[in-house]
């Protein structure tokens, strides 16, 4: 199976074009967050999304947790996929699905310890895909992604082996560890932000070596 790639923290139409040119299957646009390097204003996200060609998916990363707020966020920007980076109740996910039946839901699980395995398998019941990242929602200023850190991939492997939906692996990925991540975790897709950036900008040379590492 071909490993899909999502390039996150897209900050302009030019970055979107570059990531798609190298083979990105999905682009991530980061809405307001308590922390992280890739945050954009909703108006900027709404300007970038119409430039993303089909069939490339547009993921809106939202830190909203209440159904009306998640729905309103999607409507402001028009993404076809919602990446829920914080902990969202099952009932809220059901309400979002009912209100936005054509929008895909990707639920993020931050891999802190073994309890993440059960959390992920339960979250999969209200998700089109899971995304395993390395944030820490328990901190005073929450980290909900974009940390540049890898987590315990043995736990991610357990989730991939048992999940009923596709699983993306994120957190500290780059050309240096992409092949090992694919071999050890066998995810549906890889998702990365800082590993293809230099001084915050999408770096074509890093994109090139990353895609070579993934596809050879
Ligand atoms: O990048 C951010 O600013 C961000 C903020 C809050 C939640 C998620 C965020 N980005 C996501 O984090 C992963 C991993 O980032 P990295 O590769 O470790 O730098 C990234 O792919 C985005 O999905």
Which CATH number is 68's domain given?
Answer: 3.20.20.70
Question: Could you tell me the distance, in angstroms and rounded to a whole number, from the CA of residue 189 to the centre of ligand 1?
Answer: 15
Q: What is the ipTM of this complex?
A: 0.97
More confident residue, 1 or 195: 195
CA distance 45 to 42: 5
Geometric angle at alpha carbon 128, from 64 and 33, rounded to 5°: 20
CA distance 203 to 137: 29
**Percentage of the chain surpassing pLDDT 70?**
100
Question: Could you tell me the distance, in angstroms and rounded to a whole number, from the CA of residue 194 to the centre of ligand 1?
Answer: 8
Measured from the CB, is residue 137 less than 6 Å from ligand 1? no
CA distance 100 to 79: 11
Average pLDDT of every residue of the chain = 97
Pocket test for ligand 1, best of 149, 175, 193 (most atoms within 8 A of CB): 193
Specify the pLDDT at position 143: 95
Residue with tokens 């802190």: 112
Question: Could you tell me the distance, in angstroms and rounded to a whole number, from the CA of residue 92 to the centre of ligand 1?
Answer: 23
By the 10 Å C-beta count (0-12 exposed, 13-18 middle, 19+ buried), 116 is classed as buried
Question: Could you tell me the distance, in angstroms and rounded to a whole number, from the CA of residue 147 to the centre of ligand 1?
Answer: 6
The whole domain housing 211 covers 4-215
pLDDT tens digits along 112-125: 999 999 999 999 99
C-alpha separations of 64 from 41, 137, 197 in Å = 14, 13, 26
Measured from the CB, is residue 37 less than 6 Å from ligand 1? yes
Measured from the CB, is residue 194 less than 6 Å from ligand 1? yes
β-strand pairing of 201-202 with 197-198? antiparallel
Measured from the CB, is residue 36 less than 6 Å from ligand 1? yes
Question: Could you tell me the distance, in angstroms and rounded to a whole number, from the CA of residue 83 to the centre of ligand 1?
Answer: 11
Domain count, the chain: 1
Ramachandran region of residue 10, left (φ > 0), alpha (ψ -120 to 50) or beta?
beta
């Amino acid at each position: 199976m071909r490993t899909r790639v999502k390039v996150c923290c897209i900050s302009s139409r030019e970055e979107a074009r570059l990531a798609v040119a190298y083979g990105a299957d999905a682009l991530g646009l980061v809405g307001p967050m308590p922390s992280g390097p890739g945050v954009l204003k909703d108006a900027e996200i709404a300007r970038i999304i119409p430039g993303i060609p089909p069939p490339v998916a547009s993921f809106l990363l939202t830190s909203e947790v209440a159904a009306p707020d998640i729905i309103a966020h999607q409507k402001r920007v028009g993404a076809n996929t919602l990446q829920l980076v914080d902990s969202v109740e099952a009932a809220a996910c059901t309400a979002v699905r009912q209100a936005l039946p054509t929008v895909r839901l990707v639920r993020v699980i931050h891999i802190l310890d073994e309890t993440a395995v059960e959390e992920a398998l339960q979250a999969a019941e209200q998700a089109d895909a899971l995304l395993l990242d390395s944030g820490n929602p328990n901190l005073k200023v929450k980290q909900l992604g974009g940390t540049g850190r890898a987590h315990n991939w043995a736990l991610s492997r357990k989730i991939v082996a048992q999940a009923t939906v596709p699983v993306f692996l994120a957190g500290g990925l780059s050309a240096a560890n992409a092949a090992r991540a694919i071999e050890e975790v066998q995810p549906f897709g890889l998702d990365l932000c800082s590993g293809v950036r230099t001084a915050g900008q999408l770096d074509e040379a890093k994109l090139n070596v990353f895609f070579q590492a993934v596809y050879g």
